[in-house]
């Protein structure tokens, strides 16, 4: 029986094109721990609940904004810790949602500042 020298048809390893036959193949880099959708959604859900709890403590715009800043800073610290020590998918969800929540609070502050010409944070 004759031995086959090339790879099997349809194999996952691409054959060199022959354009640069003396060069080695390019390496394929893969993520060792890919991020899945479920942990990202879990991080988003936890952060939304976190911001709702912190935002409900504020009684006016200034206190709401300061509580939101505090919630965002603590969420970013948790996100950094999760990125290093825990699940990076949850860290992505927490970081994205905390940035979005902080931008909502800053939009409210900016609208009040534009409408009244008075900085509402103090």
pLDDT tens across 90-106, in order?
A: 999 999 999 999 999 99
% residues pLDDT > 90 (the chain):
70
Question: What's the total number of domains in the chain?
Answer: 1
Residue 28 within any structural domain of the chain: no
Residue 118 within any structural domain of the chain: yes
Residue 25 within any structural domain of the chain: no
Alpha helices by DSSP H, the chain: 37-55, 61-85, 88-116
Residue 76 within any structural domain of the chain: yes
- The answer on pLDDT for 22 being more than 80 is no
Residue 119 within any structural domain of the chain: yes
- The answer on pLDDT for 43 being more than 70 is yes
- The answer on pLDDT for 38 being more than 80 is yes
Burial 45-62 (b: 16+ CB within 10 A, else e): ebbeebbeebbeeeeebe
Residue 88 within any structural domain of the chain: yes
Residue 116 within any structural domain of the chain: yes
Which domain covers residue 94, as residue numbers?
A: 59-122
- Tell if the pTM clears 0.75, that is, is over it: no
């Amino acid at each position: 029986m004759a031995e086959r020298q090339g790879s099997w048809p349809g194999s996952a390893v691409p054959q060199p094109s022959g354009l640069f036959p003396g060069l080695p193949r390019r390496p394929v880099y893969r993520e060792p721990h890919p991020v899945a959708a479920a942990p990202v959604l879990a991080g988003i859900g936890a952060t939304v609940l976190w911001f709702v709890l912190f935002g409900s403590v504020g009684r006016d715009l200034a206190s709401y904004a300061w509580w939101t800043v505090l919630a965002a800073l603590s969420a970013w610290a948790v996100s950094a810790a999760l990125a290093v020590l825990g699940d990076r998918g949850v860290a992505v969800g927490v970081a994205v949602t905390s940035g979005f929540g902080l931008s909502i609070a800053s939009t409210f502050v900016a609208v009040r500042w534009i409408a009244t010409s008075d900085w509402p944070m103090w």
